[in-house]
Amino acid sequence: MAMWFELMVMLLAAYSVGLGIGWLIWGRVSNDLGE
């Protein structure tokens, strides 16, 4: 049970990092477009 909980927390952390990276990439691309 504890292992699954730990796994879910780590997956959530990975997902959050992905959101941050996506936001950064989008910010850079949209800036290049002059928007």
Contact residues toward another protein (CB under 8 A) are: 3, 6-7, 10-12, 14-23, 25-27, 30, 35
DSSP, res 34: T
Nearer to another protein, 1 or 35 (CB): 35
Nearer to another protein, 1 or 20 (CB): 20
As a residue count, the chain comes to 35
Closest separation between CB of residue 24 and another protein, Å?
Answer: 9
Nearer to another protein, 1 or 10 (CB): 10
Report how far residue 20's alpha carbon sits from residue 9's, in angstroms, rounded to the nearest whole number: 17
What is the sign of the dihedral through the CA atoms of 14, 19, 24 and 29?
positive
